[in-house]
Amino acid sequence: MISNLNGILSFKKANSVVIDVNGVGYLVYVPLKSLSNLPEVGKPVSLYIQTIFNSEEGIFLYGFLTEEERDVFNFLRQAKGVGVKTAFSLLSFFEAGELITYIEKKDAQAFLVVPGIGKKTAERIIFELKDKVRGKDFVPTDKSSSKTNLDAELALVSLGYTNKEAKEAVAYVIKHLNNVDDIQVIVKESLKYLMKR
């Protein structure tokens, strides 16, 4: 099973991208919220992947910028009647953390802005997941993380470091350099950090 993809973004459209990994193009479906934060075509990209097997149509790859998005995608699918398409639509309209907050607050009304989700579906999501969400340890998304930080992580990934190493290094640099927002400085200091390990 594919857990993540690191490669070059070779194609991008409304709800999917193609990532070139050593000459092999992977078609990945990406929620609009994540799609808008991806780099330009031709640039390095790294996505967390959820592989979905459909007995009638085959294998599909769904990509997310953070582990939290992927975790919430899978969590939403635990509710009866909430399939891949519904979970995907919700993450196209809301941040992963927002969805968890709505479930915790039992705010079914918030989900009604998503096309295809009616009152019954929204209430079912709340009813089935409100108790389960308390025991979940979702990986938090750092809301202060800027596009500069993400670009720095992608630059490190393109140099051969893993997604985890890149995130760790950038987080260390941001913390110790008081939230510097210069990508060249971040990458340079991150490389120093990684080489000292």
Distance CA(97)–CA(64), nearest Å, equals 14
| Burial classification of residue 56, based on how many CB atoms lie within 10 Å of its CB (0-12 exposed, 13-18 middle, 19 or more buried) | exposed
The confidence score (pLDDT) of residue 158 equals 77
Query: What stretches in the chain show pLDDT beneath 50?
Result: 139-144
Q: What is the DSSP letter of 118?
A: -
CB burial of residue 45 (10 Å; 0-12, 13-18, 19+): buried
Residues near 6 by beta carbon (within 8 Å), at least 6 away in sequence: 21, 44, 45, 46, 157, 158, 162, 163
pLDDT tens digits for 102-146?
A: 998 999 999 998 888 999 999 999 999 988 887 565 544 444 455
Residue 156 is predicted with a pLDDT of: 84
pLDDT at 141: 47
Question: Hey, what domains does the chain have and what are their CATH numbers?
Answer: 4-64 (2.40.50.140), 67-135 (1.10.150.20), 147-196 (1.10.8)
On whether the pTM is more than 0.85, the answer is no
Helix axes of 96-104 and 67-76: crossing angle, nearest 10 degrees: 40
Nearest CA to 11 out of 32, 33, 49, 38 is that of 38
